Amino acid sequence: MQSNKMKARIKAGEPVFGVSVMYPSPQIVEMIGEHGFDWVMIDCEHGSMSPESAELMCLAAERRGMTPIVRPETNRPEVLMRYLDRGAMGLQVPHVNTKDEAIAAVRATKYYPLGDRGLARGQRSTGFGITGGSIAGYTEWSNRETLVCVQIEEKEGLGNLDQILTVDGVDVFFIGPTDLSQSLGYPGQRDHPIVKKAIDEAFAKIHKAGKASGTPGGADEVPAHVKLGVLYHYTHIPTFMTYYGRHFLKQAGR
């Protein structure tokens, strides 16, 4: 059973860099690994992912030494378990708006005594039960190594941030600028002064509480995020394509 290198780095206060993929492709995950990224976010909330594809992409991430984190479509125990059992080493849970919702995400991710994730023997995450290790050893390992990230991306979540920050077992408090901009009444305008102020204040609160923060960002934004102390970063596959596609066509004279 492997250790979660990405979680260890965040705990040590070091930034980690990943790429989100919302299309079913283990090969794209492998290419991301060849670039040297720390982790991959397998996005089952948006895009066209199936649980079967997510499982193969978890395998591809492991094969290339990256941590597979899945974003489930919703914060429900049976959905979270579906990805953990298939090999996700952590979950990035969308639209967490209250303390109770954050507690529910932790409890669905962890086994006794930290939670009540459904326990079984034969799935990938237990090594299919083949090596015959103790169940107690497995649950301790899983509770220790599995990462929980909650997304604060609505006005309601921002309003409840102080309470959400008190929840034990959350490793990363993530600010989702796109949904937040919509929830604040400025869809897609993450640089609108009102949206920016809300995001800056949220980061300040998270850091003041001594907790790790996360947010997505492209190459132009990541230096400022690192400087601010954000630890959990990712960019998107379409961003890779946009940059090089534009560059190529410009070079070609279009």
- Active-site residue set: 46
- Residue 171's closest CA among 18, 10, 37, 16? 10
**Angstrom distances, CA of residue 38 to CA of 29, 35, 80, 109, 121:** 11, 9, 22, 22, 29
Footprint on residues 78-117 left by ligand 3PY (CB under 6 A): none
Near ligand 3PY by CB under 6 A, which window of 30-38, 110-118, 171-179, 223-231? 171-179
Choice from 98, 178, 189, 239 touching ligand 3PY (CB under 6 A): 178
26 touches ligand 3PY (CB under 6 A): no
Interface region with ligand 3PY, contact rule CB under 6 A, candidates 131-139, 170-178, 203-211, 218-226: 170-178
Question: Which residue reads 């060849």 in tokens?
Answer: 34
Among the listed residues 97, 179, 232, 237, the single contact to ligand 3PY using CB under 6 A: 179
Please identify which residue in 101, 145, 154, 179 interacts with Mg ion, judged by CB under 5 A: 179
Q: Is 176 in the site for Mg ion (CB under 5 A)?
A: yes
Q: CB-hemisphere CA count at 13 Å for 152?
A: 29
Paired residues of 18 in beta bridges:
39, 234
Torsion of CA 72, 77, 82, 83, to 10 degrees: 40
Which residues of this protein are in contact with Mg ion, per CB under 5 A? 153, 176, 179
